Amino acid sequence: MASVTFPQTLEAPATPTTLKLVKRERLMIGAHIIAALVSLMFGIFMGPFQTFHRSPTFVQYFPTIPVFTFYYQAVTAHGVMNALFFTTFFIIGFSYFVMERSLQRPIKSVVMGWAAFASMAIGLVMMLFVLLTMPQQSAVLYTFYPPMIAPALFYIGLVLLALGSWLASANIFLTYRDWKREHPNERVPLAVFALVVNFIVWCIATIGVAVEIVFMLLPASLGILKVTDPQLARTLFWFFGHPLVYFWLIPAYVSWYTMLPRQAGGRLFSEPLARVAFILFLVFSVPVGVHHQFSDPGISASSKGIQTLLTLIVSIPSFMTAFNVGAALENAARNRGAKTLFDWPFKQKWNDPVVAAQLSGMLLFIAGGFSGLINASAQLNATIHNTSWVPAHFHQTLGGAVTLTYLGIMYWLLPAIRGRALFSKKIALAQVFTWLIGMMLFGLAMGEAGLQGVPRRALTSQSPYLSPAGAFWLDVTAVSGVILLVSSILLYVNIIGTLFFSRQPMPEAEVPIETVSGDRTSPLWFERWGIWLGMLGILLLIAYGPVMTEVLDFQEGWNILRYMPTTSAPMP
């Protein structure tokens, strides 16, 4: 096998500097990571219990399943805690670390950083309070649309989370701006480039859900607003709901592009093309939300068609990433003595939990990515819309690629913050591989059940319509739930062990820090954000202009909130 010549774009390999985290950084980043782990703890354990609740055989033998006996409370807590609170806390904490280390400067304002954290933490406390004390009323799921209305605390908690995240975004943008003013003719390190993209996507996407909450759901919950329009609310929610997944994915890509090559023992194939991939995310990840609404009656088929094509395009940066990171991993394996065409995936550091977690996430992402392309095809969606195929898909992307990469990061970041070594690498490895196997089985079983017509997030063990094939696959799902429960326990054993019982010092060499951008060939205008925002604006007009016209339905006047009375969530 002739080795591929790498493009000569890297003049000087990035050199890691020694890790000297000052106390201020350890407190700030540590607070975010701990809050993320608390959120994840409330979310993660709800997952396996849902698979138990849904499996007819499991319920037959264990009629009472402890912990969250109300199934829809578990669904809501799982979604809200994992998808909204865990991810946001983790991404912001990780982003502060990357910004400060890569730019070699503190974030713009520590006070603003703590204000942002306080806002999000109060939001978390409010949300946990409402989820735990009002299980029935707050069971509106993490995709919350009217006319089902939760208690006001639910929405206030979300507003505080969003406010905090916007403050954090501002902090990150200002830090970048200060660096750029001092280095006008330099390329910002790739990791920071990607994070700037990420927080731009976040700030644009959250406009949709903020409008839904502040102008529709919260006033309805407080009793001020008596009517609502579910079609408009759904459209606003999914304007946010799909870019949200890229907000989760891009930090994982930051690790794959800028940290994993060195962790695996190789180097990145092409840094300029990595920047192109992130620019494509910036331009294409927002105008695609309607692909969650292919079955909605209020949006025309042509509007849906436009967003089908845009969704196919947003897969291109992920395909580029597969090549670029794949080449970096092959390079790492060749350095380690891989010789033949297909032995390089096996010659990886599968015994290092940080690397193994990210590689396992990539394996799951192959299945998750392709099932995503199926979902994006408007006609195929009719077969699988709202069936358990959909959670199968996003547990391989979010529960797989994103979560495993975050855990891989956690396995070096938490020790770095704590200043002690990871409690046990063996437990970490066992956690990674049980997660990989459990999530593969979960994806297979939920996907098959979905093709048998089993709906998502329904207490199917009590459903009269369940077919034998559907019941079989739900039982398999419960088996995957057991494996994932074991994996989750292993994760928290290691986290608690690292925080309180680890006695070894942290090996500094294991912390990946990118300090210098080795990229000397990508054009400087890549960082003229106005160009990309302008393109995004045009695409939004094309993709969402017709949709909003149809949903707002101007022909019948401006009174869009004219029909539907609001209700609180139905009681059991």
C-beta of 194 vs 428, nearer to another protein: 194
Choosing from 395, 406, 423, 544, which is the catalytic residue? 395
Q: Does 178 bind another protein (CB under 8 A)?
A: no
Q: Which stretch binds another protein (CB under 8 A): 118-126, 157-165, 184-192, 289-297?
A: 289-297
Instruction: Pick the catalytic residue from 394, 406, 411, 442.
Output: 394
Find the shortest distance in angstroms from Cβ 271 to another protein: 10
CA distances from 319 to 3, 171, 282, 446 (A): 22, 31, 16, 25
- Residue 246 annotated to the active site: yes
Give the C-alpha separation, 486 to 488, whole Å.
Answer: 5
Please give the size of the binding site for another protein, defined by CB under 8 A. Answer: 81
**Residue 139 binds another protein (CB under 8 A):** yes
**Does the active-site annotation cover 6?**
no
Active-site residue (options: 32, 267, 334, 457)? 457
H-run or E-run covering 564: strand 564-565
Of the listed pieces 169-177, 480-488, 491-499, 557-565, which binds another protein according to CB under 8 A?
A: 557-565
Q: CB of 258: closest distance to another protein in angstroms?
A: 18
Give the residue with the Cβ less far from another protein, 12 or 571: 571
- d(CA 188, CA 564) in angstroms, rounded, equals 50
Q: Determine the Cα–Cα distance for residues 443 and 490; give it in Å rounded to an integer.
A: 21
The one segment of 56-64, 253-261, 288-296, 399-407 that binds another protein by CB under 8 A: 288-296
Residue 455 engages another protein in binding (rule: CB under 8 A): yes
Catalytic-role residue among 393, 420, 526, 544: 393
Torsion sign (Cα): 193, 359, 409, 374: positive
Conformational region of residue 348, where left means phi above 0, alpha means psi within -120 to 50, and beta covers everything else? beta
Burial category of 2 from C-beta neighbours within 10 Å (exposed 0-12, middle 13-18, buried 19 and up): exposed
CB 220 within 8 A of CB 144: no
The single residue among 1, 17, 323, 343 that binds another protein, judged by CB under 8 A, is 323
DSSP string computed for 384-396 = HTTBTHHHHHHHH
Based on CB atoms, which residue is closest to another protein, 162 or 233? 233
244-263 binders of another protein (CB under 8 A): none
Told to check if 190 binds another protein by CB under 8 A, we report no
User: Tokens 């192109």 sit at which residue?
Assistant: 276
Residue 456 annotated in active site: yes
Q: Which two tokens stand for residue 480?
A: 């995957």
CB of 468 to another protein, least distance (A): 13
**DSSP bridge pairs for 10:** 519
SS3 567: strand
In the complex with another protein, which residue's Cβ is closer, 72 or 89? 72
Question: For residue 63, how many other CB atoms are within 10 A of its CB?
Answer: 8
Site for another protein contains 230 (CB under 8 A): yes
Q: Which stretch binds another protein (CB under 8 A): 6-14, 333-341, 347-355, 494-502?
A: 6-14
Q: How far is the CB of 381 from another protein (least distance, A)?
A: 8
Asked if residues 261 and 270 have their Cβ atoms less than 8 Å apart, the reply is no
CB of 368 to another protein, least distance (A): 16
State the amino acid at position 182 in one-letter form: E
Token digits of residue 506: 């942290």
Residues numbered 36-95 forming contacts with another protein, rule: CB under 8 A: 70, 72, 75
CA distances from 500 to 40, 222, 421, 432, 491 (A): 19, 43, 11, 22, 14
Footprint (CB under 8 A) of another protein, residues 485-544: 521-523
Nearer to another protein, 270 or 348 (CB): 270
Question: Active site residue: 246, 253, 257, 269, which one?
Answer: 246
The secondary structure of the chain in percent helix, strand, coil, rounded to multiples of 5, reads: 70, 0, 25
Find the binding residues for another protein in span 108-137 (CB under 8 A).
136
Q: Which range touches another protein (CB under 8 A), out of 56-64, 187-195, 248-256, 307-315?
A: 307-315
Q: Considering the complex, state which of residue 133 and residue 467 has its C-beta at the smaller distance from another protein.
A: 467
Amino acid at 565: P
CB-based burial label for 133 (10 Å; 0-12, 13-18, 19+): exposed
Kindly state whether residue 242 participates in binding another protein, applying the rule CB under 8 A. Answer: no
- 418 catalytic residue (yes or no): no
Chosen residue from 147, 219, 345, 497 binding another protein by CB under 8 A: 147
Q: Which of 32, 53, 242, 334 is catalytic?
A: 242
Q: Name the residue with tokens 């002690």.
A: 420
Token code pair at residue 240: 């946010």
Of 351 and 521, which has the nearer Cβ to another protein? 521
Nearest to 169 by CA among 108, 252, 81: 108
Q: Is 375 in the site for another protein (CB under 8 A)?
A: no
Question: Which member of 463, 489, 499, 546 binds another protein (CB under 8 A)?
Answer: 463
Least distance between another protein and beta carbon 441 (Å): 23
Contact pick of 41, 115, 459, 535 for another protein (by CB under 8 A): 459
Let me know if 365 is a catalytic residue: no
User: Which amino acid makes up residue 36?
Assistant: A
| Contact between 26 and another protein per CB under 8 A | no
Residue 437 CB contacts under 8 Å (≥ 6 apart), including other chains: 483
262 vs 457, beta carbon nearer another protein:
457
Q: Which of 377, 493, 529, 533 binds another protein (CB under 8 A)?
A: 377
Considering only 132, 382, 538, 541, the residue that binds another protein (CB under 8 A) is 382
The yes or no reply on residue 272 touching another protein (CB under 8 A) is yes
- Owner of token pair 């946010």: 240
Beta strands 148-149 and 567-568 are: parallel
Would residue 53 show up in a list of annotated catalytic residues for this protein? no
Q: How far apart are CA 406 and CA 255, in angstroms?
A: 9
| Residue 145 half-sphere exposure toward CB, CA atoms < 13 A | 15
Structure tokens at 98: 């990357």
Whether 319 is catalytic is: no
- Residue 383 structure tokens: 């077969």
For position 549 contacting another protein by CB under 8 A, the verdict is no
User: What whole-number distance in Å separates Cα of residue 450 and Cα of residue 461?
Assistant: 15
Site for another protein in 384-423 (CB under 8 A): 385-387
Active site residues: 242, 246, 393-395, 456-457
